[in-house]
Amino acid sequence: MGHTLKEPLNMQAKLQLTVIFSALAFFTSACSATPAADPTSPPIDTGATAISMASTMAAETMAAIPTETTIPTPTEVPFYLTANIWAEEPRVPIINYHQFAPNTSLRSTDHKIRKRDFLDGLEALNQAGFTLIHLEDWINGDLYVPEGRRPLVFTMDDLFYNNQIRMDENGEPRRDTGLSFAWRYGQEHPEFGFKWSLFANLGDKWYADGDTEGKWKDELAQSLIWCLEHDARVYNHTYQHIRMDKSGAEGILWDLEQNDLFMRELLVKAGREDLIEGLNNMLAIPFGYWPEGSGYSAMTNYITPEGEPMLAVFDIDWIINGVKFMAPPYSPEFDPMRIPRIAMPPEAIAYLVEHQTEFPTMVSCQVGPLDAEQVNDQDYLGEAIQASITSGTCPQGFYILENYSFDMR
């Protein structure tokens, strides 16, 4: 009596049985004719031999059939982004330099700093955790500095004097100039960097004295070009370094425009008009004497030849009158038309080093887990940051994430 299978056979088992039965049928039919008996040979169990050979053939056939490999499902890794955060409101000191004096000078002053004192100041500020940033970038809302570092701005007035920068015969800054010292230090210490804001007045220096061929313009243009190509951005300081408090609106506009026009003339003459589009409109007040009334209006409403409005105006004061710093652009204390700068570099540096812990550093935090397909959505990132703050994973503060800024204070 036959047996009913309770479960269907899988394909591999069916194939194996088919091979066995086929082999049995073959050998059974082959053995149906009885050969003449060999009196010296023992009797052969033909049925057992057929079954054994059939099993062997089935095993070899199954071994030749490829088996399906199971691929494990990968474990999904959570996706996070690193946010840079001002958990405390940053304070940005702006130190202003003028000229550089040889080490043989008796001492450094607020107008001329000895090169030895200049280099010592760079090292002290670096060790105190300060990093140079671009003034223009900060004003436009780029508040990034490396984690654990403090933002710092260097400016220089009255460009271009030979002790500030002048090019040698190889097109490099002469090694005895102030910006050459700063450039080499920045290359050796990238954590500190080389980023300067230079305020030039091009019409009050006797560049052409003794130069009947006018080569001074070519030399001046090369210094200007090197600065623009090496993160030393050049801005307006009026053409003749005028007392703006004693100048009328018309005179102020002429001085600002003439300085801009001459700077562009130098670049065009040198075949580098491509650099003009990178020039922006910021002004450092000469002497720190401010115009009033129509003069002030003319100054703040001045537009460059390319149509750029006034982005910022900078004051100058001495540290003995109280230390003042640039606020972040999101602060109600931020006034782009009157940004403070500090003169007297040696004293200013000593103050910053002594009080370094009063200047916050940028921190970071991992925001997530995130959906990688939505990280370009600013609203989505804002919600993720808020969730990280609510959970206690990240602090409140001003966030910079994926080139977006978020005020999460």
Domains in the chain: ranges and CATH = 93-361 (3.20.20.370), 368-408 (no CATH)
Angle between helical axes of 293-300 and 249-269 (0-180°, round to 10) = 30
Cα of 270 vs its chain's centroid, Å: 31
- Identify the pLDDT of residue 378: 94
Report the alpha-carbon distance of residue 71 to residue 65 in Å, rounded: 19
Element (H, E) at 283: strand 282-284
* Per-residue pLDDT at 1: 42
Residues 6+ apart with CB under 8 A from 232: 179, 194, 195, 196, 197, 198, 226
Judged against a pLDDT cut of 50, whether residue 214 lies above it is answered with yes
Is residue 377 predicted with pLDDT exceeding 90? yes
More confident call, 297 vs 403: 297
pLDDT category at 154 given cuts 50, 70, 90 is very high
Q: Measuring CA to CA, how many Å separate 5 from each of 2, 15, 150?
A: 10, 16, 80
Q: SS3 for 17? A: helix
Q: What pLDDT is stored for residue 323 in this prediction? A: 85
List, for residues 155-202, the tens digit of each pLDDT value.
Answer: 999 999 999 999 999 999 999 999 999 999 999 999 999 999 999 999
pLDDT attached to residue 215? 82
- Which backbone phi and psi does 40 adopt, to 5 degrees? -95, -10
Give the residue-averaged pLDDT of 114-123. 97
Q: Which of 225, 235, 217 is nearest to 281 (CA)?
A: 235
> Cα separation of 371 and 381, whole Å?
10
**pLDDT, greater one: 46 or 219:** 219
Q: What pLDDT sits at residue 126?
A: 98
* pLDDT for residue 16 is more than 50: no
Query: According to the model, what pLDDT value does residue 43 have?
Result: 53
Q: Which of 34-43, 107-116, 121-130 has the lowest mean pLDDT?
A: 34-43
Please determine, for residue 56, whether its predicted confidence score (pLDDT) is greater than 60. Answer: no
- Residue by residue, what is the 3-state secondary structure of 194-261? CCEEEEECCCCCCCCCCCCCCHHHHHHHHHHHHHHHCCEEEEECCCCCCCHHHCCHHHHHHHHHHHHH
Identify the pLDDT of residue 251: 97
**Are 216 and 208 within 8 A, CB to CB?**
yes
Model confidence at 150: pLDDT above 80: yes
Window from 50-59, 261-270, 335-344 with minimum mean pLDDT: 50-59
* 307-329: pLDDT as tens digits: 999 999 999 998 888 889 999 99
Over range 43-57, report the average pLDDT: 52
Q: Give residue 189's pLDDT.
A: 98
**If we measure between CA atoms, which residue out of 189, 82, 170, 84 comes closest to residue 132?**
189
Which position has the token pair 């460009």? 159
Most confident by average pLDDT, 140-144, 196-200, 212-216:
196-200
Report whether pLDDT(26) > 50.
no
Joined tokens for residue 317: 């004061």
| Confidence tier at 259 by pLDDT (50, 70, 90) | very high
Residue that wins the pLDDT comparison between 312 and 5: 312
Instruction: Enumerate helices (H) and strands (E) in the chain, giving the number of each.
Output: 10, 13
Write down the pLDDT at residue 117.
Answer: 96
Instruction: State the chain's mean pLDDT as an integer.
Output: 86
Single pTM value for the model: 0.79
Lowest mean pLDDT among 223-232, 248-257, 338-347: 338-347
Residue listed under structure tokens 């109280």: 322
Q: How many whole angstroms separate alpha carbon 215 and alpha carbon 211?
A: 7
Q: Tell how strand 150-159 and strand 94-97 pair up.
A: parallel
What is the signed CA dihedral for 240, 246, 251, 254, rounded to 10 degrees?
40
- Residue 216, pLDDT score: 86
Strands 397-401 and 79-86: antiparallel
More confident of the two residues 162 and 41: 162
Convert 220-234 to b/e letters by CB count within 10 Å (16 or more is b). bbbbbbbbbeeebbb
| pLDDT 10s digits, 319-365 | 888 889 999 999 999 999 999 999 988 899 999 999 999 999 999 99
